[in-house]
Amino acid sequence: MKLDSVIFYTSNLDEAVAFYQKLGLELEYREDDYASFLLSDNVRLGLKEADEERENPGHQAMILTTTDIKKLFIQMKKGEYKIYSPLEKYDWAETFSILDPDKNKIEFIERTEDIVQIS
C-alpha cells in the first residue's frame, strides 16, 4: 500500500491555505470549500472547510520527513509558527512539531536509522 492523501478539516480555509503556502507546500488547486497541496511522491494534503458533525478541526496530525531538522526548527522558532513540542533527540530520530491555525499537529522528523519493512 501507498499513502494517497491526508485531509485536515479547517474552520477557516483562507487562513489554512495561507499557513500551508507559507510553510512551503505547493497549492495544487482550490475550490470554494476545499484546497489540495502536493507533497512528495504525489501524496496530497487536502484542506476542507468543516461542515459535517464528524469533521472536527484540530484533531488531525501528519508527519513530514526532513533532512536538516535543526535548521528547520530554528527557522520555525524565528517564524510565526506555534511550536507544540520542542526539538527532541531519540536513538532513532530527531523530531519536533508545530500547530496549524486549527491546532492540527504537524510533526517534522529526521530519522537516524532505517525502519524495518514488514511484508
Q: What is the CATH number of the domain that holds 75?
A: 3.10.180.10
pTM tops 0.85, yes or no: no
Whether 58 is in a domain gets the answer: yes
Q: What was the pLDDT predicted at 70?
A: 95
Amino acid at 12: N
Phi, psi at 77, each rounded to 5°: -65, -40
Full pLDDT tens readout for the chain, 119 residues: 678 889 999 999 999 999 999 999 999 999 999 999 999 888 999 999 998 888 888 889 999 998 899 999 999 999 889 999 999 999 889 999 999 999 999 999 999 865 554 44
Whether 116 is in a domain gets the answer: no
Number of compact structural domains in the chain: 1
Whether 117 is in a domain gets the answer: no
The residue segments making up the domain with residue 39 are 5-111
How far are the Cα atoms of 33, 45, 51 from residue 12, in angstroms, in the given order? Answer: 9, 16, 11
Whether 73 is in a domain gets the answer: yes
